[in-house]
Structure 1
Amino acid sequence: MSNLIPNPDGTYTRLITLPIVPAQPDPSSSTTRVLSKDISVNPKTETMVRLFLPREVLDLPAPRIPIIFYYHGGAFIFLSATSSIFHEFCSTMALQLQVLIVSLEYRLAPEHRLPAAYDDAVDALHWIKTTKEEWIAKFADLSNCFLMGTSSGGNLAYHAGLRACEVSHHLDPLKIKGLILHHPFFGGSERTGSELVMEDDPILPPRVCDAAWKWVLPVGADRDHEYCNPAVSKEFERCVAIRVMGCRVLVAGCFGDPLIDRQMELGKMLEGKGVRTMTHFGNGFHGLEVSDPSKAPALFTVLKNFIYEL
């Protein structure tokens, strides 16, 4: 992949970058409607979370609001929880949905191939149930938690959700109520119809996805590995754990995304396994609501209905 330059120490220099936004934890700032702060999760893996809290919650008597664990996009290779587009997206979402967002800074490939990001996500779930961090202790409703991700983060939310539902008794008092797969990043060895039609898509052409998966999957794995293609994997049977736990799933995407066929098929497969599944597909392109904030309000309405079961 031309956007990665190997370094002698085994790390890579990434040529795809975005501005980094600092956290804004000071409640005395009258212009800050959403507070944010960075908290270390695991010093050994150097993972952390950026918390987002609506400022007005500070003035409410003993509030307990839902939690959304959010996983950023970037093909598991690029970007960060502190990248400007994800910071702004999470800030707006926290305010519009009245939730506490826990945005995870997980390890990236190729230095840390999958399942490292999945491991980090589950590690953070265990961390939050015992942490004494003030915002979590005062405002988080641990019994009302959702896992959400955009693009590769949607893939992460799905696989972390599988793991969480399988070991839910170890996560008490944390309760996973739903998975929100926003433009989830999946693949496969065979092209789908939408991938063939949108072979030259300017946002996410299939050949770029192919190249990314070579750096992300375990060494020697092809694109029909369970991490990439649940449609052909026997591991898909594990999604029964989602149904057993009563966990709901929302799959959201756009018809202008080459991955739309895979996303729609995933929704149908989950429904076929008896999982309470909601889908929301509109017009646009991959990552639309993150890259174009003017399109986000419609998505937030769908998310509010899903989270609060309106």
Structure 2
Amino acid sequence: MSVSIRIVITAFCFHLLLLLVNSSDMDPYKALHIILNHDGTLTRLQTPPQSQPSPDPNLPTPALSKDLPINKLKHTWARIYLPHKTHSKLPLIVFYHGGGFIFYSAASTYFHDFCANLANQTQSVVVSLEYRLAPEHRLPAAYEDSVEVLHWIKSSNDPWLTRHVDYSRCYLMGESAGGNIAYTAGLRAAAIVDQIKPLNIKGLILIQPFFGGTKRTPSEIRLEKDWNLPLVVTDLMWNLSLPVGANRDHEYSNPTVNGGAKVLDQIRLFGWKVGVFGCDGDQLVDRQRELLKLLEDKSVNVVGQFYTGGRHGIFIGDPSMSQKVFHLVKSFYS
């Protein structure tokens, strides 16, 4: 089976979990096939398909890949992707997978195939982080992991990194909840640039980033009962991932509160490039446009790429839309 077909099938299988949610009074736990236990943990009744890494250069894969531990106490690790037949130092992309902070893995086929193609088509080394999931580890746990991987990269002696990475060209990328994580990792990294040298972040690529707020946006109201990502499901994801007692206007959920993070001024001065992807078939699109406007108002070097129709997850699940991400990455490099 081809990589592109597997991506589409994997995305389709996940979105089938949401198919039964067609009104706000449906049980999102049943729709997501999860059970909330008395101790605050989740029983996840279904696991998305997983892929093993492929370090063998003789296999016909888009890129080589292997797994390395980061923090054994936290059970965090990274899957590294390296293009075949690399002869020069390559830019580095640190990737954070999506899943509403409660699902998926760096090993999930859905993201594994995307990252392998990302490494191949943009000629980059990709480090995909396995961060801690909520509600077992509520935010800011994933944010802490997202910065810890940067410290790990700068100190690692793994030859895939030391021989092939140009540390002066690092980009943070994420999709959905991973886009939220990439954004927050960027804010935190901007405040400690001297501590992560020689790693030099040059920009952020945010693919349909997952943000929220207590006041409903027009796109949330319009797509409240959308089969792909109904509002009742996103509300549950925030309830399970935000700190206990926090609402959706917490800074982890709503990046526009209090006029946005003050460190955005530093990001502007650093000259980082930021790309924000969205489409109007996604209930989160107004949140993404709000983020774009915030960055524009802060005079950050940002470009928004928004498309008609589509759905949440399309830039990972549809190979033709993934190409738009790869194209932006290559334009950032040039």
TM tier relative to shorter chain: over 0.9
Give the C-alpha shift of residue 219 in structure 1: 0.5
**Identity rate, percent:** 50
Is this contact kept in 1: 2:279–2:307, CA < 8 A? yes
Residue in structure 2 matching 1:33, options 43, 62, 68: 62
After superposing the two structures, state which structure 1 stretch, 239-248 or 206-215, moved more.
Answer: 239-248
Whole-Å separation in 2 of the counterparts to 1:48 and 1:296: 25
Give the C-alpha shift of residue 49 in structure 1: 0.4
Relative contact order, CA 8 A, sep 6+: which one is greater? 2
Whole-Å separation in 1 of the counterparts to 2:303 and 2:260: 22
Give the C-alpha shift of residue 298 in structure 1: 2.7
| Residues 251-284 of structure 1 deviation map (CA, whole Å, 9 limit, x = unaligned) | 1111111111110111111011111111111131
Is this contact kept in 1: 2:190–2:263, CA < 8 A? no
- Paired residue secondary structure (1:41): strand
Whole-Å separation in 1 of the counterparts to 2:37 and 2:297: 46
Residue in structure 2 matching 1:172, options 193, 197, 200: 197
Partner amino acid for 2:316? V
Residue in structure 2 matched with residue 141 of structure 1 by the alignment: 166
C-alpha change, 1:16 and 1:203, in structure 2 (3 Å) is farther
1:299 aligns with 2:325: yes
| Residues 83-108 of structure 1 deviation map (CA, whole Å, 9 limit, x = unaligned) | 01100001111111000000000000
Whole-Å separation in 2 of the counterparts to 1:168 and 1:290: 30
1:267 aligns with 2:297: no
Residue in structure 1 matched with residue 255 of structure 2 by the alignment: 230
Give the C-alpha shift of residue 184 in structure 1: 0.2
Whole-Å separation in 2 of the counterparts to 1:44 and 1:100: 26
Give the C-alpha shift of residue 235 in structure 1: 5.0
Is this contact kept in 2: 1:224–1:233, CA < 8 A? no
Residue in structure 1 matched with residue 35 of structure 2 by the alignment: 5
Whole-Å separation in 2 of the counterparts to 1:106 and 1:122: 10
Is this contact kept in 1: 2:62–2:117, CA < 8 A? no
Is this contact kept in 1: 2:96–2:128, CA < 8 A? yes
Is this contact kept in 1: 2:207–2:315, CA < 8 A? no
TM-score, length-normalised on structure 1? Answer: 0.94
Residue in structure 1 matching 2:47, options 2, 17, 22: 17
- Paired residue secondary structure (2:85): helix
TM-score, length-normalised on structure 2? Answer: 0.87
- Paired residue secondary structure (2:327): helix
After superposing the two structures, state which structure 1 stretch, 228-237 or 41-50, moved more.
Answer: 228-237
Residue in structure 1 matching 2:178, options 153, 166, 175: 153
Residue in structure 1 matched with residue 89 of structure 2 by the alignment: 64
Is this contact kept in 2: 1:162–1:241, CA < 8 A? no
Residue in structure 2 matched with residue 90 of structure 1 by the alignment: 115
Unmatched tracts of structure 1, length 5 or more: none
C-alpha change, 1:192 and 1:22, in structure 2 (3 Å) is same
After superposing the two structures, state which structure 1 stretch, 240-249 or 88-97, moved more.
Answer: 240-249
Whole-Å separation in 2 of the counterparts to 1:33 and 1:292: 17
Question: How many residues align structurally?
Answer: 303
